[in-house]
Structure 1
Amino acid sequence: MELTIHHSFLPHSDPEASLAFYRDTLGFEVRNDVGYGGMRWITVGPKGQPDTSIVLHPPAADPGVTEDERRTIAEMMAKGTYAMIVLATKDVDGVFERLQAGDAEVVQEPMDQPYGVRDCAFRDPAGNLIRIQERR
């Protein structure tokens, strides 16, 4: 059986800021942009990988989520502890320089980790942690 990742979901708190970050700073292409009832879902993905996408969605859009849960989710997003994604590149230092020049919030500069990868980390406009690992 062959499985692939089709969509992954990351919450956003400001759709325009998230769109600018993923499209303009990371260079992802926009695949879908849908609004409904005052909410907005944006699907982005790396160019050349049409079968893998990230859906940027309004947090706690499910009507079954309570107000207390919405507040908790908002607090976790603000701290950067609610969601994360790991991306890969052949040039982590070059990507770091580009993202840093684009005013992305740096969490960790490129470094060689004791578990064998070189990586760096940023936060997107919603606070989601984005780790970028170097493929060798």
Structure 2
Amino acid sequence: MITSIAHATIYVLNQDEALDFYKGKLGFEIGDDMKVEGGFRWLTVYPKSKPELQLVLAEPKEGPMFTKDSAQKIRSLIAEGAFGAGVFETDNCQETYEELVAKGVEFIQPPTKQLYGIEALATDNSGNWFSLVQR
């Protein structure tokens, strides 16, 4: 029986730059950062309040998961902003929005009242968009 989800993957264009964004701008903690055989890097981050849910910051590269062609296609889609990284929750969307803007996070929508709460939309430094939601 499955009891929880432990990891979710966000594909990024550069792991070092993504780590700087998720740690330096969003305030996430580093879970794992290790290189394994073949030059693959297992890099995870998590919000301080949820260490049990780790986000894998993965670069699509040719290897066991992707052909050279499919890795390039995914990288192109990331750069175009075709992927969402998910929904990050906050107790105060306006306050968190202002903090993140001051840190250089780019938003495509400021905090806006929605049926489910207040939501702002931002992008990470790879082009992935994410929602910032106050329920």
Q: Do both proteins adopt the same fold according to a TM-score greater than 0.5, normalized to the shorter chain?
A: yes
Counterpart residue number, 2:44: 43
Give 1:38 shift: 3.7
SS in 2 for 1:16: helix
Shift of 1:24: 1.3
SS in 1 for 2:96: helix
Cα distance change on mapping 1:67 and 1:125 into 2, 3 Å: same
**2:25 partner amino acid:** T
Is the CA contact (8 Å cut-off) linking 1:14 and 1:125 kept in structure 2? no
1:14 counterpart residue number: 14
**Alignment partner, residue 126 of structure 1:** 126
Matches within 5 A, 1:36-115: 36=36, 37-60=38-61, 62-113=63-114, 115=115
Are the structure 2 counterparts of residues 19 and 4 from structure 1 closer, same or farther at C-alpha, using a change threshold of 3 Å? same
Q: Write the deviation string for residues 54-102 of structure 1: whole angstroms up to 9, x where unpaired.
A: 1111125543523332222111101111342111011111111111111
Q: Which runs of 5+ in 1 are unaligned?
A: none
CA distance in 2, matches of 1:61, 1:44: 23
CA-based RMSD: 1.9
Give the distance between the partners of 1:90 and 1:130, measured in 2 at CA. 16
In the TM superposition, residue 5 of structure 1 has moved relative to its aligned partner by 2.5
SS in 2 for 1:59: coil
> Partner letter of residue 86 of structure 2?
I
Separation of aligned partners in 1, 2:10 and 2:108:
18
Q: Secondary structure at the match of 1:54?
A: strand
Write the distance in 2 (CA, Å) between the matches of 1:53 and 1:100: 24
The gaps in structure 2 that reach 5 residues or longer are none
Q: Distance in 2 between matches of 1:53 and 1:73?
A: 21
